[in-house]
Structure 1
Amino acid sequence: MSLPEISPVGPLLPAAPTTSLLATKYPGAIGAWVAEMALGVSEPIQDALLRETRNGTLGYNDPISIQAGREAVTRRMRDCYGLDAAPEAVGFVSDVVSGFAAVLRHFLSPGEAVVVPTPAYSPFLTVPRQFGHPVIEVPGSYGPTGHRMDLDGIDQALATGGRLVVLCNPHNPTGRSFTTDELTALAEVVEAHGARVFSDEIHAPLALTSRHHVPYACIGDAAAHHSITATSASKAWNTAGLKCAQLIFTSTTDVTRWQTVADFYVRSVSRLGVAALVAAYEEEAADEWLAKTLVRLRHNNNKVAEAVARTMPGIGYVPAESTYLAWLDCTALGVGTPAAYFRERARVAMCEGTEFAGQGYVRLNFALPEDVLDQALTAMARVVREVMSQ
């Protein structure tokens, strides 16, 4: 299965510097592990950062810049996704994981269990335990159209004491973009138990198909009331190091509660991150950069799907619907730690599936320059053929 081929538009974008985390953690290997793009940063964001530097505004955030950030977020959410929230309902945190920790601390009672559908972004599995919350893992299922949440399993987990369901949509690591029907079904299960949802929607702008992102909070009044949405410009515009994410509260009770602790969390937010956020959401050229980047990501997603189908016998891949992450089923290789195996034999560094509670899988970041991705896929194919021929 592959996505429709889309021809590149305009000149290629610059690649990331070779000193990025993606490129340096595993010397001598192609970096395809951490979820950041090796495709550069848009000019409007670079200009915004230079402007802050030239103006000497590298101190703390001020109320004017924070308010500008809140208004940029609310406009973006309304215009792109139909999520209508007032500026005061937008809370600033340094990143989504910190936002998740804040929700656990302030919106969950001590000792209450967190339900995590798996595979899952690893902090969702580890952070709750650090705050004294047991984790109930609910493995999903796989089929021809990819990953599916186990709603019956989530229902059972909530019935046995789970109070918060973690939703990652678009999904990391599988690249699924959940449908309105799927989200509605989840909302009905959660509401029936009087539970809550933490919805990580950081990859929302990275749609790789014609189906647009649907915020969980837009499913209905019940979903809006029992959920807290986490978002950021950092994945789509490649600014994760600038430390600026948001929690969007769609319950008036939650807004009131957050305002009692908001000042503590805004102190951890970078002023440069806020400037980059406003530029990403407000500048037309930043949207043009994202459009070009999406063309490249769709092309690369196709390239991964075609390479797996044609040159990697036994490896499974359902093309991502969003994100720039490929979730590869390597169980047929019979290797306990396939990411480590590929890193040693193919010199391609990917994430081990066990980090996400996905034994036998690897997560490949395909947000790479095309020639680098080609090298990675060729090396991986060679290793797969060697293993499968034994």
Structure 2
Amino acid sequence: MAYDVATPIHEAILCETNEGTLGYNDPISIAQGRNSVSAWLLRSYDWDVEPTSVGFVSDVVSGFAAVLRHFVPAGSPVVVPTPAYGPFLTVPELFGHPVIRVPMCEGPFGPAMDIDGIERALHAGARLVVLCNPHNPTGRSYRRTELAALADAVEAHGARVFSDEVHAPLNLSGRPHLPYAAVAARTAEHTITATSASKAWNISGLKCAQLLFSATRDAETWQGVAGHYVRSVSRLGVAALRAAYEEPESQEWLSATLERLRRNSESVVRRVNSEMPGISCRPAESTYLAWLDCTRLGVADPARLFHEHAGVALCDGEEFGSPGYVRLNFALPQAQLERALDAMAAAVAAEQRQLSSATGQTIGSTRGNT
């Protein structure tokens, strides 16, 4: 996010540097971090996770790699619903796990997991399903019924779930976030959850994420390898995490940031759908990301169009397994976001004029777009 961090986080980092505590984490700081995470989960989601079941890794991708290495049968395929955060599509193959991509389908609340497709992949031998909840890049926040349907499929095939919930505090929907592992006792037993304060409090560079082991056997397995991973965790990251989770002023900062994000999301949806023919966008239920469907724009590379003709850098949907889409980060000062949307609308209008001149048609006129 292009926002300053909360004051308590800034002060916590200054305190560490002023005291010269820039070495490795010690058992006391890690224990304090575990307690902070456990208390936050209970307070925010009514999810009781023992501090001893909280493991530290540098970031969610490293945590995902650790799960693949230590908890998934060698060589077994991994199911990844697409679109998906890029590393979920590439990291498994580094560890010898083929990726089975299962495109999401249209559900009653927007893009949804294709449970039938996931079941077919599990039947074919996959043993891990990657769940991104809230979902990056679509911004979906899954309902209990959707998570329960996934649980049915996973349980039927003796598989397990890696649940990336790093965007959970960035809830724009007004509905409480529901951790997948907290849906039922059965989901707790087959899930390892990744989380962090990094996205919600804008401290990703401080390298301090967590794996939550809701199954006792998994927590015991982790104890055998935890020492290797905790070395990669920044002491500054632990200090920032505690300031984010424990300080009331940090909670106030998050509440104010969520209001900014809601306004920005509304602006993106309104302007994209009304000013950019051939492009559509749904409101984000969580995250600070907008997923723009440009498949009816008539442009082979929409990310390149916006970069070259609007000066706006968007993530190419190809990276997420969905060509023809782009991802827009709307965690910007409002004036900067509006300038970006102005430039994007102008680029679409120019492309529309060019297409109209060449074919005599308007973008979207023969593609059912409104």
C-alpha distance in 1, partners of 2:305/2:347?
9
Counterparts in 2 of 1:284-323, with a 5 A limit?
284-323=248-287
Task: Determine which of 232, 237, 249 is the counterpart of 1:273.
Answer: 237
- Match of 1:182, SS state, is helix
- CA, structure 1 residues 263+236, in 2 after alignment: closer, same or farther (shift >3 Å)? same
* Cross-structure match for 1:123: 87
Q: 2:203 pairs with 218, 239, 248, which one?
A: 239
- Letter of the structure 2 residue corresponding to residue 339 of structure 1: A
Query: Number of aligned pairs?
Result: 354
CA–CA separation in structure 2 for the residues paired with 1:285 and 1:104: 37
CA distance in 2, matches of 1:83, 1:100: 21
Tell me the equivalent position of 1:327: 291
> 161, 176, 188: which is aligned to 1:224?
188
* Distance in 2 (alpha carbons) for counterparts of 1:65 and 1:144: 45
1:107 match: 71
Which residue of structure 2 lines up, in the alignment, with residue 355 of structure 1?
A: 319
Does the alignment pair 1:65 with 2:29? yes
The normalised TM-score by structure 1 is: 0.90
1:97 to 47, 61, 76: 61
What is the match of residue 172 of structure 2?
208
- TM-score scaled by structure 2? 0.95
- 3-state DSSP class of the match of 1:341? helix
Displacement of 1:335 in angstroms is 1.6
- Measured after TM superposition, the shift of residue 143 of structure 1 is 5.7
Please state whether the residue corresponding to 1:213 is helix, strand or coil: coil
Aligned to 1:48: 12
Tell me how far apart the structure 2 counterparts of residues 231 and 378 of structure 1 sit (CA, whole Å).
35
- Between the aligned partners of 1:137 and 1:388, the Cα distance in structure 2 is 33
Partner residue in 2 for 1:260: 224
Where 1:247 maps in the other structure, the secondary structure is strand
Deviations 1:97-123 (A, max 9, x none): 000000000001210110000000000
Give the whole-Å Cα distance in 1 for the aligned partners of 2:218 and 2:107: 37
CA contact (8 A) 2:130 2:162 kept: yes
Mapped partners of 1:207, 1:251: distance in 2:
26
What is the match of residue 377 of structure 1?
341
Does the aligned pair in 1 maintain the 2:134–2:287 contact within 8 Å?
yes
CA RMSD in angstroms, aligned pairs only: 0.8
Q: Distance in 2 between matches of 1:50 and 1:287?
A: 20
Q: Distance in 2 between matches of 1:109 and 1:364?
A: 36
User: How far is 1:144 from its partner?
Assistant: 7.1
Preserved CA contact (<8 Å) 1:169 1:204? yes
Q: What is the one-letter code of the residue matched to 1:293?
A: T
Q: Identity, % of aligned pairs?
A: 63
Corresponding residue for residue 99 of structure 2: 135
| Pairwise CA distance, 1:45 | 0.2
Gaps of 5+ in 1: 1-36
**Which consecutive residues of structure 2, in runs of 5 or more, have no partner in the other structure?**
356-370
Deviation at 1:85, TM superposition (A): 1.1
After superposition, the C-alpha distances for 1:253-291 in whole angstroms (9 at most, x for unaligned) are 000000000000000000000000000000000000001
**2:160 paired residue among 168, 193, 196:** 196
Deviation at 1:241, TM superposition (A): 0.3
Specify the alignment match of 1:79 in structure 2: 43
Q: Is contact 2:12–2:243 with CA below 8 Å preserved after alignment? A: yes
Is 1:175 aligned to residue 130 of structure 2?
no
Secondary structure, in 3 states, of the residue corresponding to 1:162? coil
Describe the superposition over 1:172-208 as per-residue Cα deviations: whole angstroms up to 9, x where unpaired.
0000000011001101110010000000000000011
Q: Does the 8 Å CA contact 2:180/2:187 hold for their aligned counterparts? A: yes
Taking the aligned partners of 1:166 and 1:267, their CA distance within structure 2 comes to 26
Conserved? CA contact 1:145–1:318, under 8 Å:
no
Q: Residues 184, 143 of structure 1: CA spacing in aligned structure 2 closer, same or farther, 3 A cutoff? A: closer
CA–CA distance in structure 2, aligned partners of residues 109 and 140 of structure 1: 25
Q: Which amino acid aligns with 1:136?
A: I
- Give the corresponding residue for 1:16: none
Q: 2:332 aligns with which of 368, 373, 385?
A: 368
How far, CA to CA, are the matches of 1:104 and 1:143 in structure 2? Answer: 29
Paired with 1:349 and 1:138, the residues of 2 have a C-alpha distance of 27
Q: Distance in 2 between matches of 1:265 and 1:81?
A: 26
Confirm or deny: 8 A CA contact 2:197 2:241 kept in the other structure: yes
| Cα deviation digits, residues 189-236 of structure 1 (max 9, x gap) | 100100000000000000111111100001111100000000000000
